[in-house]
Amino acid sequence: MDARERLRELSDFAAPWAVWIAATLRLPDHLASGALTAGELASRAGADPDALERLLRYLVARGVFAEADGGYANTPVSELLLDESGWRSWFDLDGPPGIWAESWTRLLPAVRSGSPGRDEGWYYDELARTGRGAAFDAAMAMQSERDGAEMAAADDWDGVEHVVDVGGGTGALLRRLLAARPHLRGTLFDLPQVVAGAAPADRLAIVAGDLFGDPLPHGDVYVLSRVLHGWPDGVAAEILARCATAGGETARILLVETVLREEPSADHASFDLFMLTLVGGRERTEDDFRRLGESCGLALRSVRQLSSGASLLELGA
Ligand SMILES: C[S@@+](CC[C@H](N)C(=O)[O-])C[C@H]1O[C@@H](n2cnc3c(N)ncnc32)[C@H](O)[C@@H]1O
């Protein structure tokens, strides 16, 4: 591919939009039992037949769908977007991705000024206002459940009694931890509209609160899973300091976060831009985490890779 073609491919707005719209309209699911014409697909998906055919033609040219039997069929690429794959929710513009897609329009002002210019916490208000919070919480739970199982398997829970998961969503990670370590009790702390969707479990206390305004419960270990990357440095340091204050001298703070390498992958760098444009947050290097901890009197004690691609970082006084 020459430079001109590469530039055209990189700057083509149609590609992400067409893929996200195909997933939103569940086109791969409609095609799961065989090829359909654009007209048949349009009536099943609730779309305009002419506009849908134009979308399909583009996606065939891009190898997402194929032409077959006078209509359109799935390919291994579109099959990744089948509902059953679990991936579709990350592409559904009627769900949280609709908020994410809109937020990319803030990237230019964010690059110019360093901030997307929204009130802190607007994203969680927007999820609640548009009724998309439960879909976001479910998508997060899918990810963090696996991290919870892996953290439980790590051999460093002796002497720990109480784990507080701050911004713990609906508690998928904490539930896994408690199930694997019967001597632990846990407290799930998150916004009221989020913990409303958390199922009760043995040894699990559920606390609805605002981590900036309400006191955090006292614990031996604080978990902050994928929380800090949603905030700029000043706010992330405030969150760490609040956990450290609530836990006292001996408390350990466990972060589950992506750690940027010296030369970040395109995926990691893309997510870093996404955090900037969505919430004014950022992905961080190991040094960034060390400095962030030191700014509130915490030392970075260890960093361990998890199979999800995130890392487990431990901080303590
Ligand atoms: C990216 S999600 C991570 C959820 C969960 N820890 C996980 O890894 O799946 C960030 C979480 O922080 C919570 N959160 C955001 N602002 C908060 C606040 N002011 N007080 C308490 N929780 C908050 C959100 O509701 C959300 O569940």
CA of 186 to the centre of ligand 1 (A): 16
Confidence band (pLDDT; 50, 70, 90) for 283? Answer: very high
Q: Is the distance from the beta carbon of residue 226 to the nearest atom of ligand 1 less than 6 Å?
A: yes
Probe target for ligand 1 pocket from 190, 207, 254, 274, with the most ligand atoms within 8 Å of CB: 190
* Candidate of 207, 225, 227, 239 to mutate for ligand 1, largest count of ligand atoms within 8 Å of Cβ: 227
Architecture of domain 140-262+281-316: 3-Layer(aba) Sandwich (3.40)
User: Which atom belonging to ligand 1 lies closest to the Cα atom of 147?
Assistant: 8
**Ligand 1: distance of its center to the CA of 27 in Å?**
32
Length of the chain: 317
pLDDT at 85: 86
For residue 200, the 8-state DSSP code is P
Identity of residue 221: V
Question: Is the CB of 195 within 6 Å of ligand 1?
Answer: no
Q: What is the dihedral of CA 115, 119, 123, 125, to 10 degrees?
A: 180
**Residue keyed to tokens 């713990």:** 168
When pLDDT is averaged across residues 128-149 and rounded to a whole number, the result is 94
**Phi/psi at 50 (nearest 5 deg)?**
-65, -50
DSSP category for residue 217: P
Q: Is 140 in the pocket of ligand 1 (CB under 6 A)?
A: yes
In the three-class reduction of DSSP (H, G, I as helix; E, B as strand; rest coil), residue 305 is classed as strand
Q: In DSSP terms, which residues pair with 221 in a beta bridge?
A: 163, 252
pLDDT at 264 over 90: no
Among 156, 96, 145, CA closest to 256: 145
* CB 303, CB 259: distance < 8 Å: yes
List the domain boundaries for the chain: 3-87, 140-262+281-316
Give yes or no for residue 262 having a pLDDT over 90. no
Calpha distance 134→89 (Å, rounded): 11
Ligand 1 atom closest to Cα of residue 194: 25
Query: What are 233's two structure tokens?
Result: 């440095």
Residue 155 has pLDDT above 90, yes or no: no
Return the active site residues.
229
Region 68-73: what's the mean pLDDT?
Answer: 95
Is 239 close to ligand 1, i.e. is its CB under 6 Å away? Answer: no
Q: Is the Cβ–Cβ distance between 64 and 79 less than 8 Å?
A: no
Mean pLDDT of the chain: 96
Residue 223 CA: nearest ligand 1 atom is 6
Look up the pTM and report it: 0.94
Q: Do 196 and 269 contact (CB within 8 A), yes or no?
A: no
Q: Confidence band (pLDDT; 50, 70, 90) for 263?
A: confident
- Asked whether 167 lines ligand 1 (CB < 6 A), one says yes
Q: Specify the 3-state DSSP secondary structure of 165.
A: strand
pLDDT surpassing 90 at residue 201:
yes
What residue's CA is closest to ligand 1, atom 9? 140
> Which ligand 1 atom is nearest residue 227's CA?
10
Residue 86: pLDDT band by 50, 70, 90 thresholds?
A: confident
- Smallest Cα–Cα separation from 114: which of 211, 234, 202? 234
* C-alpha of residue 172 to centroid of ligand 1, in Å: 12
> Given the DSSP bridges, would you call strands 252-257 and 221-225 parallel, antiparallel or unpaired?
parallel
- What is the identity of the amino acid at 136? F
Separation of 238 CA from ligand 1 center, angstroms? 15
- CA 79 / ligand 1 centre spacing (Å): 31
Fold topology of 3-87: Arc Repressor Mutant, subunit A (1.10.10)
- CB contact burial 169-206 (16+ within 10 A = b; e otherwise): bbbbbbbbbbeebeebbbbbbbbeebbeebeeeebbeb
